[in-house]
Chain A
Amino acid sequence: MKHLMIAAGLLSATTAMAADKPQLTVYTYDSFVSDWGPGPQVKEAFEAVCDCELNLVGVEDGAALLSRIRLEGENSDADVVLGLDTNLINAAKETGLFATSSVSAEYTLPIEWTDEVFAPYDWGYFAFVHNADAAAPANFRELAEGDTKIIIQDPRSSTPGLGLLLWVQAAYGDEAADIWAGLADNIVTVTKGWSEAYGLFLEGEADMVLSYTTSPAYHLIAEEDASKAAAAFDEGHYMQVEVAAKLAGTDQPELADQFLEFMVSDAFQQIIPTTNWMYPAVTPAAGLPEGFDTLIQPEKSLLFSPDEAAKVRDQALAEWLSALSQ
């Protein structure tokens, strides 16, 4: 206990020493701040230009992040929140805690971006990842009719899980419930989060796992392993666009704006592909890292607007639950 006290004391001491510089606090999800995420490089790059101290605070995942902001309410310590996605934007705006910003950039997203509160920093397509030497179905119907085994994440506890729910909904609308009924016998299990699912897939528990089209890039670039591929589905792939915004209650509004501008600049964007393993929202001048050119390019991008996503979410979840609880 004594050591902890000393550790806590030291921490507050270092915070106090740096107090002469302005502080910008950014809440984000845990994997962003981890030693292997973009966090450490982003902190270094921003502090080199801002004459400030950037405090990154990690909160589990995007959904938990929004809950934390709601919990803290108007006197939140956060100046910027980074790491929500389009499916959370509606709920986030309803809190009235976020402020508009003037950030804009030449986004290289497959869709047009017009939101005035939230600015995108990266994006990706959900996809099923499989071993490259195995044949993969070409769409959800083929998957449902065949005996390919998949592992997915629970939409109630996982962002990719919710993404899949909306993917099927966007592709099939009223027929979504039938698709889920057909998929029921393909689903080996449903996990709490992405890590469990991906770990089980790597152990061979299933033929495919719900992840991103960019997942094979990790194996290719970081492990020089070309054995993983993402299955291209011809009904299109649902997108995840990750966004950030300034809080209305921030005491550092200018610094927060500066951070958001920095976020869509090359210095930030070039860190994203090989740390967050997503596509940068603005392709950096140097282009994408080698290996990203080998990834599948979906012919059709699916994405509900934040309003639509909020509207269809609960109904889609009810259908999912009833189809898989039989």
Chain B
Amino acid sequence: MAERAQPVSPWPGVGAAALVAALILGTLAAVALRADAAGGFGPADWAALRFTLVQAVLSALFSAALAVPVARALARRRFPGRRALIALLGAPFILPVIVAILGLLQVFGRAGWISDFLGLFGLPPMRIYGLHGVVLAHVFFNLPLATRLILQAWQEIPAERFRLAAQLGCDGMAMFRLIELPMLRRILPGVLAVIFAICLTSFAVALTLGGGPRATTIELAIYQSFTYDFDLGRAALLSALQLALTAAAALAALKFSRGDGFGAGLDRAIRRWDGGAPVLDTFWILAAAAFLLLPLAAVVISGLSGLFEMPTQVFRAALTSVLVATASTVVLLVLALPMAMAVATGRYGIVELSGILGLAASPLVIGTGLFILIRPVANPTTLALPVTALVNAVMALPFALRILVPAARDVVTRHGRLALSLDMDKTTFFTRILLPRMRPQIRFSAGLAAALSMGDLGVIALFADPQIATLPLQIYRLMGAYQMQAAAGAALLLLMLSMGVFWLLDRGGRLHAET
């Protein structure tokens, strides 16, 4: 069968995907080849695998299940401050792990705000440590992402569909069944797979909130193999297991999320006529806002006094972080856009798979692998910043693809045939049709990538040079030097910077504004 002509070329995307796969698998191979003996699994590893799977599955299910009503409420309601709220809700996602843990426990911990409140009524403090604590923390991190992804899919339903449904007299329930449920069926498997993959590599969060070694994850076992046992073979094996699990989840998601889109619309502003259940919608918005914003408020409050005690090194580190984030965002877009276009042509699902692997790759394995690969040719320490920017971009790639792919697919199916019949060349299609239509998604993914890169410790700790530090590394260093106050201040600065770049690039969630 002859291949159908396409308005975009898949090859740059296939090339980018191959590069990413080479980076992830190449670093893994570098670590495996450096091992003295083949690693093996012990009983403790199986226990870690079991716990990792249970918490990742539960975290993904809860995050997605809660995100649906929140996204629906945000899609249906218009209120002052809605855009700011949507942008703010994304903040947990970009906090460095250690800061997020402290913020979460200031709210939910034994001495947290909720426990204090319970104490007023003579009730015992909250028992947060355990599997439920791990899931709660992961929902805190991932609910915003799930909400944004689902909300985006909601906004992409052509306005005509809602208009037609309203004309036919569909109520809220019928609207849900006919329009929204098919959309959810398409988007949810991907959302679940992404969150599952993120939680698969959880370490410090799972251990701390899990309350002890019961909450041992594969990532902890990898860390242990590297530092405690120096068993590189076992580390590589465990990392391969993480990658295999993520690949399986991603393939399952690709399989289940098949289904037709909504076809073309006239890019009109969406109006909803099913105004029912305002109370319920308000409840979901308030509940999500309270859950996500209270720990952030804790971070802000404890950071305020430290903000004025920060040594100048913190500001230098902040500048470095902005540079790294900028570079990382550029790299991300160069990789993600062609990949999204390749996937949109419909024949290269494998490209998406390669993108999602970035989530499952253990940062320790990537970092160590890069170190092994770079060392023979250059001093890894002098390449600390470029390497950090590159790895951060690869880690953000899965998110960017989830944002860009649906939009790219829509543009190609809606406008592809017309463009081909007009004999439009690929460059013109890209610059005139695709880019303008995908601008909101590009902005959103760029904002996310920049913010993520800003907040992530990444691999810099493995390459660190005393003279160069990113802001997250500087926060860890301050804490290591007992300077918790200054660290809290630096964390607040980081939060503001991350939110700032995110806001700047995403323009306050313009994606969800009316056209």
Residues of A participating in the B interface, judged by any CB pair closer than 8 Å: 1, 3-5, 7-8, 11-12, 15, 30-31, 33-37, 39-40, 56-61, 63-64, 66-67, 70-72, 77, 91, 149, 154-157, 187-196, 198-200, 202-206, 215, 218-219, 222, 277, 320-321, 324-325
In the complex, the chain A residue whose C-beta lies closest to that of B320 is: A7
B109 touches A3 (CB 8 A): no
Q: Is the CB of A91 within 8 A of B230?
A: yes
Report the Cα distance A283→B206, complex, angstroms.
42
Are the C-beta atoms of B212 and A190 separated by less than 8 Å? yes
CA distance A36 to B465 in the complex (A): 15
In the bound complex, what is the Cα–Cα distance between A59 and B367 (angstroms)?
13
Q: Report how far A59 CA is from B364 CA in the complex, Å.
A: 13
* Distance of A220 Cα from B129 Cα, bound (Å): 32
- Identify which of B98, B111, B227, B230 contacts A196 (C-beta below 8 A): B98
Is A188 touching B129 in the complex (CB atoms < 8 A)?
yes
User: Which chain A positions have C-beta within 8 A of B209?
Assistant: 189
Q: Is the CB of B386 within 8 A of A149?
A: no
Decide: A191 near B207, CB < 8 A? Known: A7-B385, A72-B375: yes
A154→B207 contact, CB < 8 A: yes
CB-defined interface of B368-381 with A at 8 Å, one 1/0 digit per residue? 10011001000101
Does B226 sit within 8 A of A, measured CB to CB?
A: yes
Q: Is the CB of B212 within 8 A of A187?
A: yes
CA distance A34 to B482 in the complex (A): 12
Contact between B385 and A34 (Cβ–Cβ < 8 Å)? no
Given contacts A71-B34, A198-B484, A204-B111, contact A190 B386 (CB under 8 A): no
| B100 CB to nearest chain A CB (Å) | 11
The reply to whether A202 and B484 contact each other, CB–CB distance below 8 Å, is yes
- Contact assessment for B213 and A324 in the assembled complex, using a CB-CB cutoff below 8 Å: yes
Write 20 A-B pairs (CB below 8 A) sorted by A numbering: A1-B386, A4-B324, A4-B327, A30-B477, A34-B481, A36-B483, A58-B465, A64-B227, A71-B372, A156-B223, A188-B110, A188-B129, A189-B129, A189-B212, A196-B98, A196-B102, A198-B484, A222-B482, A324-B213, A325-B47
Closest to A15 in B: B382
The reply to whether B105 and A325 form a contact with Cβ atoms under 8 Å apart is: no
Known: A66-B227, A188-B110. 10 other contacts (CB 8 A): A11-B465, A35-B477, A63-B227, A66-B230, A67-B227, A155-B228, A189-B209, A324-B213, A324-B214, A325-B212
**What per-residue 1/0 map shows which CB atoms of B93-120 lie under 8 Å from chain A?**
0000010011001100111000000000
Using a CB–CB cutoff of 8 Å, the interface residues on chain B facing chain A are 34, 44, 47, 98, 101-102, 105-106, 109-111, 129, 203-204, 207-214, 220, 223-224, 226-228, 230, 311, 313, 323-324, 326-327, 330-331, 368, 371-372, 375, 379, 381-383, 385-386, 389, 461-462, 464-467, 476-484, 487
Q: How far is the CA of A195 from the CA of B385 in the complex (A)?
A: 24
In the docked arrangement, what's the CA distance between A66 and B207, Å? 24
Q: Are A1 and B227 neighbours in the complex by a CB distance under 8 Å?
A: no
CB distance from A62 to the nearest CB of B (A): 9
CA distance in complex: A222, B323 (Å): 33
**Mostly helix, strand, loop or mixed at chain B's interface?**
helix
Which residue on chain A has the smallest CB distance to residue B99? A199
CB A229 to nearest CB in B, in angstroms, measures: 15
What's the minimum C-beta distance from A121 to chain B, rounded to whole angstroms?
18
Specify which of A58, A67, A149, A320 is in contact with B464 (CB 8 Å cutoff). A58
What residues on B are CB-neighbors of A31 within 8 Å? 477, 480-481
Chain A min CB distance to B188 (Å): 32
Expressed in whole angstroms, the Cα–Cα distance for A266 and B484 within the complex equals 30
Q: How far is the CB of A69 from chain B (nearest CB, A)?
A: 10
Nearest residue in B to A63 (C-beta to C-beta)? B227
Residues of A within 8 Å of B371, CB to CB, are 71
Cβ-closest chain A residue relative to B476:
A195
Residues of A close to B483: CB separation below 8 A: 36
Most buried by B among A56, A195, A204: A195
- Nearest-Cβ distance from residue A204 to partner chain B, whole angstroms: 3
A156 contact set on B, CB distance < 8 A: 220, 223-224, 228
B368–A71 CB distance below 8 A: yes
Chain A positions within 8 Å of B330 at CB level: 1
Please name all residues of chain A whose beta carbon is closer than 8 Å to the beta carbon of B313 when the two chains form the complex.
35
A167 to B311, CA, bound (A): 37
Name A31's closest neighbour in chain B (CB-CB).
B480
A325, B462: Cα distance in complex, Å:
31
Report the separation of the CA atoms of residues A77 and B210 in the bound assembly, to the nearest whole angstrom.
39
State whether A57 and B466 are in contact (beta carbons under 8 Å apart), knowing that A190-B207, A206-B110 are contacts in the complex: yes
- B477 in contact with A36 (CB, 8 Å): yes
Whole-angstrom distance between the alpha carbons of A215 and B453 in the complex?
33
- Which residues from chain B contact A193 at a C-beta distance below 8 Å? 204
Q: Are B208 and A203 in contact (CB under 8 A)?
A: no
Q: Are B226 and A64 in contact (CB under 8 A)?
A: yes
Chain A: minimal CB distance from B73 (Å): 33
Q: Per a CB cutoff under 8 Å, which of B208, B227, B324, B375 touches A189?
A: B208
Q: Which residue of A lies closest to B314 (CB)?
A: A35
With A157-B220, A199-B98 in contact, is A36–B383 under 8 Å at CB? no
B226 touches A4 (CB 8 A): no
Residue from the set B208, B313, B465 with the largest chain A CB neighbour count within 10 Å: B208
Whether A192 contacts B379 by the Cβ 8 Å rule is no
Q: Are B385 and A4 in contact (CB under 8 A)?
A: yes
Q: Is the CB of A191 within 8 A of B385?
A: no
CB of B89, distance to nearest CB on chain A (Å): 24
* CA of A7 to CA of B204, assembled, Å: 32
Name the residue on A nearest B317 (C-beta).
A35
Q: Which of A7, A11, A30 contacts B461 (CB 8 A)?
A: A30
Query: CA of A196 to CA of B210 in the docked complex: distance in angstroms?
Result: 14
* Chain A residues near B47 (CB-CB < 8 A): 325
Looking at the assembled complex, report how far the CB atom of B184 sits from the nearest CB atom of chain A, in whole angstroms.
36
Closest to A275 in B: B481
The CA of A277 and the CA of B482, in the complex, are separated in Å by 10
**Given A36-B481, A205-B110, A57:B212 Cβ within 8 A:** no
> How many whole Å from A276's CB to the nearest CB in chain B?
9
Q: What CA separation (Å) do A31 and B207 show in the bound complex?
A: 23
Q: B477 to chain A: which residues have CB within 8 Å?
A: 30-31, 34-37
Inter-chain contacts of A66 with B (CB < 8 A): 227, 230
Within the assembled complex, what's the spacing in Å between the Cα atoms of A160 and B44? 22
List of A residues within 8 angstroms of B223 by Cβ: 156-157
B105 and A205 form a contact (CB under 8 A): yes
- B482 near A58: Cβ-Cβ < 8 Å: no
9 tightest Cβ-Cβ pairs between the two chains A and B: A204-B111, A36-B481, A34-B477, A195-B479, A33-B466, A31-B480, A63-B227, A156-B224, A192-B204
Q: What residues of chain B lie closer than 8 Å to A154, measured between beta carbons?
A: 207, 213, 220
Contact B213 A189, beta carbon cutoff 8 Å: no
Which residue of A is nearest B383, CB measured?
A8
Could you say which residues of chain B place their CB within 8 Å of the CB of A324?
212-214
Chain A hits for B220, CB < 8 A: 154, 156-157, 192
> Which chain A residues lie closer than 8 Å to B324 at the CB level?
4
What's the Cα separation between A321 and B194 when bound, in Å?
A: 31
Report the bound CA distance from A63 to B228 in whole Å.
6
Residues of A within 8 A of B375 (CB): 72
Are B382 and A198 interface neighbours, CB within 8 A? no
User: Which residues of the other chain, A, contact B106 by a CB distance below 8 angstroms?
Assistant: 203
